[in-house]
Amino acid sequence: MKMIVGLGNPGAKYTGTKHNIGFITMDELAFQEGLTFNKSKFEAVYAEAFIGTEKVILVKPQTFMNDSGRSVRPLMDYFNLGIDDLVVVYDDLDLPTGKIRLRQKGSAGGHNGIKSLIQHLGTSEFNRIRIGIDRPVKGQTVINHVLSNFPKEVHEEMLFAVKDSAKAIRYWVKGHTFLETMNEFNKKA
């Protein structure tokens, strides 16, 4: 069994914002698989399905970004999942919009959702898919940048990154190691 967690903030006011790229990716995967987020537990909504022969749980924590770990840790315990069975999808200011980067471990890099996960999971060694949202424009705060919608001129690049992330998740779930998945999808970036 694998758990894919997309980070974001719940509520209509955050739908489509850059900080919600993890939720957007989960919604895309659910759409592709014909799923709905019809289950809830431990302050998260989730969907379950088989992709190939692997059972997969798509998760959108409802705790708000900065407290994502509070939801993810009990879900992992409930489903008896190891750290290698987890992939977290989230936004990254240091990547241009449209680019993705897969990693097996790393620091939070200033991302409060990842800080929360590291704190609650007790490790920074978990699989990640970082999706670029670019840096704020001059004079714009980081908070205003991440909580704003994608401008029309980069919408296509954003959708490409979301679909590429979904492909990477499928590739991993269908039996490739995360290292193999990194090698396959990081070379495209």
Map tokens 């990154």 to a residue. Answer: 161
- Tell me the percentage of the chain whose pLDDT exceeds 70: 99
Task: Tell me the C-alpha distance between 38 and 135, whole Å.
Answer: 34
Stretch 124-140: mean pLDDT, rounded?
94
Do the annotations mark residue 9 as ligand-binding?
Answer: no
Residue 182 C-beta-side C-alpha neighbours within 13 Å: 14
Whether pLDDT at 52 is above 90: no
Q: What's the pLDDT tens digit per position in 136-182? A: 989 989 999 999 999 999 999 999 999 999 999 999 999 999 999 99
Supply the pTM of this predicted model.
Answer: 0.95
Band the pLDDT of 124: cuts 50, 70, 90.
very high
Residues in the chain: 189
pLDDT surpasses 60 at 6: yes
CA distance 135 to 168: 24
Residue 135 in tokens: 């840096």
Q: Tell me whether strands 2-6 and 54-61 are parallel, antiparallel or unpaired.
A: parallel
Domains along the sequence of the chain with CATH: 2-186 (3.40.50.1470)
Answer whether residue 2 shows pLDDT above 80: yes
Annotated ligand binding at 14? The verdict is yes
Q: Report, in angstroms and rounded to the nearest whole number, the Rg of the chain calculated over CA atoms.
A: 15
* pLDDT value for 187: 77
Q: Read off the pLDDT band of 188 (50, 70, 90).
A: low
Is the pLDDT at 189 greater than 70? The verdict is: no
Tokens representing 43 are 């302050």
Question: What would the two tokens of residue 79 be?
Answer: 């489903």
The confidence band for 45, taking pLDDT boundaries of 50, 70 and 90, is very high
Catalytically annotated residues: 19
Query: What percent of the chain stands above pLDDT 90?
Result: 92
Rounded to 5°, angle at Cα 186 from 62 and 22: 10
Question: Do the annotations mark residue 171 as ligand-binding?
Answer: no
What CA–CA distance (Å, rounded) separates 116 from 64? 11
Q: What is the mean pLDDT of the chain?
A: 94
